A and B are shown apart, each in its own frame.
Chain A
Amino acid sequence: MDTPDTLSKMSISNDAREMLVRAREDGIETVWDRLAAQQPQCGFCSMGVSCRNCAMGPCRVDPFGEGPQQGVCGADADIIVARNLGRTIAAGAAAHSDHGRDILEVFASLAAGETSGYEIRDEAKLLALAKEWGIEAGDRSINEVARDLADAMMEDFGSRKDHIGFLDRLPEQRRKLFEELGITPRGIDRENVEMLHRTHMGVDNDYANTSLHGLRTSLSDGWGGSMIATELSDVMFGTPTPIKSRVNLGALRVECVNIALHGHNPLLSDVIVQAAQDPAMIALAKEKGAESINLVGLCCTGNELQMRQGLPMAGNHLMQELVLLTGALDAMVVDYQCIMPSVTDVAKCFHTEIISTADKARFAGATHVSFDPQRGLEIGKQIVELGIEAYVNRNPDRVRIPAGTMDMMAGFSVEAILEALGGTPEPLVEAIKAGKIRGAVGVVGCNNPKIPQDHGHVTLTRRLIENDILVLVTGCAAVANGKAGQMLPESAEMAGPGLSEVCKALGIPPVLHMGSCVDNTRILTLAAALANYLGVDVSQLPLAGAAPEWYSEKAVSIGAYVVASGIFTVLGVQPPIFGSHNVVKLLAADLEEVVGARFAVEPDPEQAAKLICRHIEVKREALGLPFIGTGECPTDKVA
Chain B
Amino acid sequence: MANMQTVFINPERCIGCRQCEFACAVAHSESKEPSLALAEDPVPKSRIHVSPGRAYNMSVPSRCRHCDPAPCEQVCPTGAMARDVSHDLVLVDVHKCIACAMCAMVCPFDAVTFHAQTNGMPARVVATKCDGCIERLDKGQEPACVESCKVDALLFGDLNTLIAANRRDVSDAVVAATKSQLPAEKLPATIAGWRLWGESAAHITEEI
Contact = CB atoms under 8 A, between A and B. Distances in A.
B67 interface: no
B201 interface: yes
25 contacts: A8-B208, A9-B208, A39-B56, A40-B14, A40-B58, A41-B56, A42-B15, A42-B16, A43-B14, A43-B151, A43-B194, A44-B17, A44-B150, A45-B17, A47-B15, A47-B190, A62-B152, A63-B151, A67-B151, A455-B204, A578-B193, A581-B189, A601-B197, A603-B197, A603-B204
A604 B190 CA distance: 20
B201 A65 contact: no
A62 B150 CA distance: 6
A74 interface: no
Interface in A1-59: 8-9, 12, 39-47
Contacts of A605: 204
A452 B190 contact: no
B145 to A, nearest CB: 14
A452 B197 CA distance: 15
A451 B150 CA distance: 30
A66 interface: yes
Contacts of A68: 150
Interface in B168-196: 187-191, 193-194
B13 interface: yes
A584 interface: yes
A143 interface: no
Contact of A42 (B18, B193, B203): B18
Given A46-B194, A47-B190, A64-B152, A40 B51 contact: yes
A43 B15 contact: yes
Q: Which among B14, B190, B194, B200 has the highest number of chain A CB atoms within 10 Å?
A: B190
A66 B188 CA distance: 11
A65 B186 CA distance: 12
**Chain B contact residues (Cβ within 8 angstroms of A): what range?**
20 to 34
A579 interface: yes
Given A40-B51, A66-B151, A578-B193, 8 more contacts: A12-B208, A40-B18, A42-B16, A46-B57, A63-B15, A64-B152, A455-B204, A573-B197
B197 to A, nearest CB: 4
A303 to B, nearest CB: 26
B97 interface: no
A75 to B, nearest CB: 15
B69 to A, nearest CB: 32
B126 to A, nearest CB: 26
Contacts of A367: none
Interface in B3-33: 13-18
Contacts of B35: none
Interface string A61-84: 011111110000000010000000
B52 interface: yes
A604 B208 contact: no
A542 B189 CA distance: 31
Interface of A: 8-9, 12, 39-47, 60, 62-68, 77, 450-452, 455, 573-574, 578-581, 584, 601-605, 607
> At the interface, is chain A mostly helix, strand, loop or mixed?
loop
Nearest to B50: A40
B52 A42 contact: no
B205 interface: yes
B151 A62 contact: yes
B108 interface: no
Nearest to A66: B152
Contacts of B17: 42-45, 60
Contacts of A451: 201, 204
Given A9-B205, A46-B57, A67 B152 contact: yes
B38 to A, nearest CB: 17
B188 A64 contact: yes
A390 to B, nearest CB: 37
A46 B195 CA distance: 11
B53 interface: yes
Contacts of B14: 40, 43
Given A62-B150, A63-B15, A578-B190, A40 B208 contact: no
Contacts of B188: 63-65, 581
Nearest to B201: A603
Contacts of A45: 17
Contact of A43 (B51, B57, B201, B205): B57
A604 B208 CA distance: 11
Contacts of A66: 151-152
B190 A63 contact: yes
A593 B205 CA distance: 35
B128 to A, nearest CB: 21
A124 B187 CA distance: 60
A17 to B, nearest CB: 12
A65 B205 CA distance: 32
A64 B191 contact: yes
A452 B16 contact: no
A40 B52 CA distance: 5
